[in-house]
Structure 1
Amino acid sequence: MLYYLFSIVSLLSPFASGKTAGQLCRGTAALSSDGNWYCSEVTAITYKNISQPGKYNRTTQINPNTGLCDHETISYSGIEASTPLIGEPGSASSIAQQPPVVVTTTVTDTETVCERSRTSSSPWPTSESPANSTYHGPSCPCWSTFETRVSSANSTTTSTSISSFDTPGAVKRSEQRSVLSDAPSPIKTPTPTSYSDPDVIAAAASTWSRVAYYTSAAPAAASGFAFLANLGDPQRSGTFDYSFGNSLSYVIGDGSKVAANPTPFDGTLETSELEIAAFTDLGCGTDVDCGYVRPGGVSYYGWDGPSKAFLIEFQMDHYNNTGPNYGAISDAPAWWFLNAAIPRILQYGSDRNNIPCACWSTGCGEFDAFEVLGMGEERAKSTIHRQGNLEGGDSNYFRRPVGKTLKFAVVFHNWNITAKVLDDSFDFSSTLTQDQIDDMIAYDPNDGHHSLFAIGD
């Protein structure tokens, strides 16, 4: 199944120069007159060949009484549902067999999407808000077994993302809004999974159809999405215990508090301390089989399949954290994809034997699409995390969108991942043609703005 999704992730990190940068840079970079390689600002990065075989430990039980977790080893061939960044085991993974689909998230011009004015109740410091500030927050992730996360870092825009790989989507620090056209609800009748040769998949899909829709323009609305965060409260939604803390729960529009029922994201994350995860609207245990999930937690299916696309429009202005950081970097927005099995169990933390409960540490997968790694940085980085398997991050960077919105795409196709800045005129319509997808992911070795980072041969 081909997925077409709109999403955003902001990553910023300080980059070294000189000899250090030369050791880090791979792919597109600039050779200076002093003979050193320097990392460059780019508009596209392709991670080549993510389909290697490997294994990771999947959680089979967590016991809040003992504070311990049990696991089983999952081995994968590299081109099956359990492969990180592709899908996850369980009947739900069959979603990847349906016709090509698209998840779109769009942010329009500030004039047309301004839903919040700078008032005394506004979460953004008036002294730091630029003139004509509008807060855009689209979110649409597409990942099999991965969740898209966006966290807001006191910036004028909120980034939201969604995953379509049997994973949820989360939002990391930044504020944003998105406006999308009507989209069909995702198919809720899974069938057996069988991943075909990527060339066959590409040839069979002349059109990528949208499966999820989100807009932060008032009133915020979403179709095909569930917005969650790690704030579980048994009095409202999700759960909490002293062994494993808060589970996933529903959250109010700005992601700051627990909600009792599903609520559309309103497009704004006030600071870097807040996160929102965007899943499909397929409920685990009701609509699909997600495998083992944390008892009492709110659990949804992620974005499945080897071919999927996420598109988002977002803005990441500068705002500092206002409360306890909990280890978060201030003013550092990010958008990333996380294996959905991780937050459905325990996104942060280990058991009482100091063994991570979720599968992150053993390599079930994360892709940071657009991440700010230093306080107030202007550069955003991308990285693949798969401990025990091939992984890495291209040291070239994207420019953080400050004072204006940015249209951005992440495309999983033919066992590659391409993250790309889109033209301002790009239309987030209800379908995409294969030619449009091919144009997004096309790599020209003579294009100094497109970096190729080889994960596998």
Structure 2
Amino acid sequence: MKLATVSLAALTAVGLASADCSYVAGNYYCSNTNAIVYSNVGYSGSYKDVTSMDESSCICNQASTSFSGSLAPLNEELSVHFRGPIKLSQFGVYYPNAGTSLKKRDVADCAPVSHRHKRDVVVEWVEVTSTVFVDSNGNPVTSAAADMTSSYTKVNTIISSAQNTSPAQQNVDTAATSSSISTAVGSSSQSSTSSSAVGQSSTSSSAAAQSSSSSSTSSSAWTRRSYFTPGSTTNCTFMNHQGGVKGSGVWSSCFGNSISYAAADGITGASSAEALGDVTILSGNEFMIFSGEECSGNDCGYYRDGIPAYHGFGGGDKIFVFEFTMPSDTSGSASNQDMPAIWLLNAKIPRTLQYGDSSCSCWSTGCGEFDLFEILSVGSDKLISHIHDGQGNDGTSTGGGGTQDYFTRPTSGTLKAAVIFNSSDQTAHIVEVSDDFAESLSADTVDSWLAKAGSAAALS
């Protein structure tokens, strides 16, 4: 078991897929992990925010919205999304009490390494960029081309809010060929994924230094503000895409079904909020969780008329917790059959149009998605993580980064995990845990979750 780390502010490819990685159904998979740490998350930029949805013309209007700061734009309100097959046993959101904080991690700088570097260990630092496939003449081809003979990795230098680097310095190739095939970035809301390149380091000591864990500077607890167990919710609102079908939300020929309250089965619509029951959601079906606080006035920005509009989960310091099972489901022919996922979206996206015309949400201009656990091909047992936003690519959705290390899909039994956002050092941790999700979390408990990063590095 090892730690997977992804640096977003200086995204540098340090190797091709090694012999320790496998290429399956269009995606690379490397090592099983129990912790992933994203560092240098957040930048200054802008995205196109929806300002109106005209039912008569079927046109959505947009205006530029600027953001900056640690974890931006993922420090904005987020909604939590689930795709079957999945059974959710627990979900919660914690916020720090007054006086609780996480200190900055001691993270060593990651020096770029040539893709020709000696590859004598398994991936330690996973610096992900685009994979470029070339033929025998060095000309780029698609990954499916019959005459593909090799690949190399394109290096992208991501510009953080603290830097002032010219556009000419933002893209540097590690091979002679200057053209490339961009990573096919896909949203869980867009139902596609990328085959990203993977990097590796020749020393494990640097990875251990880079994975020094965060720890809280106060003994104050983190308070659980939202919580769900089957049949019971506190400050959670379950929704799906059944608007206009059964008592909530709307439907139109322009924009289709809006979001709606979800019934206890998670699949059908409802006229009012209901708690998800003790159910397994089958392939192709999705539901989402917002907070229990309704939008009022313009405090959520623009959203589609007639929908049940609720706030997401905002802030730079927060912890999401999950317990879930992702059983196999090959019984139907639904889209995304047997490809479960859990992901976070900027909450503005589902409140306008999660699926459909790209001008009707801010997704395509980089307002933010964080794939926490996603199966990329039918029946896979490897859960991949990826951040999609505009970091490093001038405000488009093709920035961000991810890792080809993976969590093991829990097809029987459950997986418990915490997702920790730490604004003080611009990190986001995804960590398997075993503790109870009590009404409050002590600083020691959170410290122990963050310390898993260091433990994983020591074992690698």
The alignment's TM-score, normalised by the length of structure 1, stands at 0.64
Matched, 1:41 2:35: no
Measured in 2, the distance between the counterparts of 1:199 and 1:255 equals 39
Q: Partner letter of residue 79 of structure 2?
A: E
1:209 counterpart residue number: 223
Matched, 1:259 2:256: no
Deviation at 1:447, TM superposition (A): 3.0
Q: Does the 8 A contact of 1:147 with 1:302 survive in 2?
A: yes
Q: Does the 8 A contact of 1:248 with 1:344 survive in 2?
A: yes
% same residue: 33
Distance 1:397 1:375, change over 3 A: same
Measured in 1, the distance between the counterparts of 2:66 and 2:239 equals 29
Secondary structure in 2 aligned to 1:178?
strand
Measured in 2, the distance between the counterparts of 1:411 and 1:185 equals 10
1:84 counterpart residue number: 73
Query: What does the per-residue CA deviation read over 1:58-108, in whole Å, with 9 as the maximum and x for residues that have no partner?
Result: 11111111011111111212248xx31102xxxxxxxxxxxxxxxxxxxxx
1:282 counterpart residue number: 293
Q: Partner letter of residue 438 of structure 2?
A: S
- Number of residue-to-residue matches in the alignment: 323
Distance 1:206 1:446, change over 3 A: closer
Measured in 1, the distance between the counterparts of 2:91 and 2:65 equals 39
Quick one: which of 56, 59, 66 aligns to 2:47? 56
Q: Does the 8 A contact of 2:29 with 2:404 survive in 1?
A: no
Secondary structure in 2 aligned to 1:40?
coil
2:84 counterpart residue number: 152
Q: Which has the larger radius of gyration?
A: 2
1:398 counterpart residue number: 407
2:89 counterpart residue number: 177
Measured in 1, the distance between the counterparts of 2:319 and 2:459 equals 18
Quick one: which of 371, 376, 380 aligns to 1:373? 376
Matched, 1:297 2:311: no
Q: Does the 8 A contact of 1:186 with 1:224 survive in 2?
A: no
Q: Partner letter of residue 384 of structure 1?
A: I
Query: What does the per-residue CA deviation read over 1:238-267, in whole Å, with 9 as the maximum and x for residues that have no partner?
Result: 001000001110111122211111110114
Q: Partner letter of residue 375 of structure 1?
A: V
Measured in 2, the distance between the counterparts of 1:38 and 1:263 equals 38
Q: Does the 8 A contact of 1:177 with 1:266 survive in 2?
A: no
1:309 counterpart residue number: 319
Deviation at 1:294, TM superposition (A): 0.5
Matched, 1:268 2:259: no
Deviation at 1:442, TM superposition (A): 3.2
Q: Does the 8 A contact of 2:33 with 2:407 survive in 1?
A: yes
Distance 1:50 1:384, change over 3 A: same
1:240-251 equivalent positions in 2, closer than 5 A? 240-251=251-262
Deviation at 1:314, TM superposition (A): 1.1
Measured in 1, the distance between the counterparts of 2:32 and 2:94 equals 37
Measured in 1, the distance between the counterparts of 2:269 and 2:349 equals 20
Query: What does the per-residue CA deviation read over 1:387-430, in whole Å, with 9 as the maximum and x for residues that have no partner?
Result: 3454011110000012211111111113211111113xx11111
1:427 counterpart residue number: 436
1:8-47 equivalent positions in 2, closer than 5 A? 23=16, 39-47=30-38
Deviation at 1:152, TM superposition (A): 1.0
Q: Unaligned regions of 5+ residues in structure 1, if any?
A: 1-19, 88-144, 154-173, 188-195, 452-457
Distance 1:235 1:264, change over 3 A: closer
Quick one: which of 440, 443, 449 aligns to 1:440? 449
Distance 1:444 1:418, change over 3 A: closer
1:17 counterpart residue number: none
Secondary structure in 1 aligned to 2:384?
strand
Query: What does the per-residue CA deviation read over 1:330-383, in whole Å, with 9 as the maximum and x for residues that have no partner?
Result: 111111111100000000010xxxx43100010000000011111110100000
1:329-368 equivalent positions in 2, closer than 5 A? 329-350=336-357, 355-368=358-371
Measured in 2, the distance between the counterparts of 1:442 and 1:404 equals 25
Q: Which runs of 4+ in 1 moved over 6 A?
A: 183-187
Distance 1:66 1:24, change over 3 A: farther
Secondary structure in 1 aligned to 2:403?
coil
Q: Partner letter of residue 257 of structure 1?
A: T
Q: Unaligned regions of 5+ residues in structure 2, if any?
A: 1-12, 23-27, 105-214
Q: Does the 8 A contact of 2:309 with 2:351 survive in 1?
A: yes
Distance 1:446 1:236, change over 3 A: closer
Q: Does the 8 A contact of 2:240 with 2:288 survive in 1?
A: yes
Measured in 2, the distance between the counterparts of 1:45 and 1:185 equals 21
Deviation at 1:178, TM superposition (A): 3.2
Q: CA RMSD in A?
A: 3.3
The alignment's TM-score, normalised by the length of structure 2, stands at 0.64
Compare 388-397 and 38-47 and name the one that shifted more. Answer: 388-397
Measured in 2, the distance between the counterparts of 1:401 and 1:235 equals 33
Q: Partner letter of residue 208 of structure 1?
A: W
Q: Does the 8 A contact of 2:62 with 2:359 survive in 1?
A: no
Measured in 2, the distance between the counterparts of 1:60 and 1:229 equals 23
